[in-house]
Amino acid sequence: MSALPVDQWGAVPSRVVRGVRAVARRVRPRGFRSSVVPGLSALALTLGCASPALAASCTVASIGLKFGIYNPFAPTALDSAGSLTLSCSGAASEVVSFQISASSGSSLNPAARTMRGAHEGFSIAYNLYTDPARTTIWGDGSGATVPIAGVFSLPQGALVRTVDFYGRIPARQNVGPQSYGDMIVITVNF
């Protein structure tokens, strides 16, 4: 049996929160080109092209989101950050617009996401955001959520763009010491 991590005073067990788990799932809506990015450590991604006639080709990669150790007695929230890298190529000066959506995960409510514990019945609240101040919830545009969107031109026919996103676990949640995780599907349309 492994020992639980302890807080800075060595007395109270901290809660281990690993972050979101990867899920490999292909989504191929009619008229969309899609592929699942291999080797993701924390998020599942689906890449789609809004129109098969577009000449641009884009791939996406993720640097996972992990929260680390959560202390339920800490007075401040536990924050983390992750990023996606879009790599696009096509004709020089071609304009590419993209929209990146995040699913609601296991809570079925993107405005109130939860990570489930390894033991049934336990969960911890968290959410994903589009801004560093963590005021705009990242989702699919339903409810109070917004997708990440942007437009760029391909200088010399290629461009790599990093898109950051942010996570937060609110402070002072009464949770048991165990691993928590969630499965989020990230969809990129261009």
| Region label for 135, one of left (φ > 0), alpha (ψ between -120 and 50) or beta (otherwise) | alpha
Query: Which of 44, 48, 123, 33 lies closest to 82 in space, CA to CA?
Result: 44
Question: What is the token pair recorded at 37?
Answer: 């990015």
> What confidence score (pLDDT) does residue 61 get?
82
> What confidence score (pLDDT) does residue 127 get?
97
Domain residue spans in the chain?
15-189
pLDDT in tens, 61-102: 876 789 999 999 999 999 999 999 888 888 888 888 899 999
All residues at 6 or more sequence positions from 87 whose CB lies less than 8 Å from its CB, including other chains: 58, 59, 60, 61, 158, 159, 160
CATH code matching the domain that covers 15-189, chosen among 2.60.40.1090, 3.30.470.10, 2.30.110.10, 3.40.140.10: 2.60.40.1090
Question: What is the token pair recorded at 144?
Answer: 């109070």
> What confidence score (pLDDT) does residue 81 get?
94
Low-confidence ranges of the chain (pLDDT < 70): 1-55, 63
Residue 82 near residue 159 (C-beta atoms within 8 A): no
- DSSP secondary structure, 7-28, as one string: -TTSSSBPEEE-EEEP------
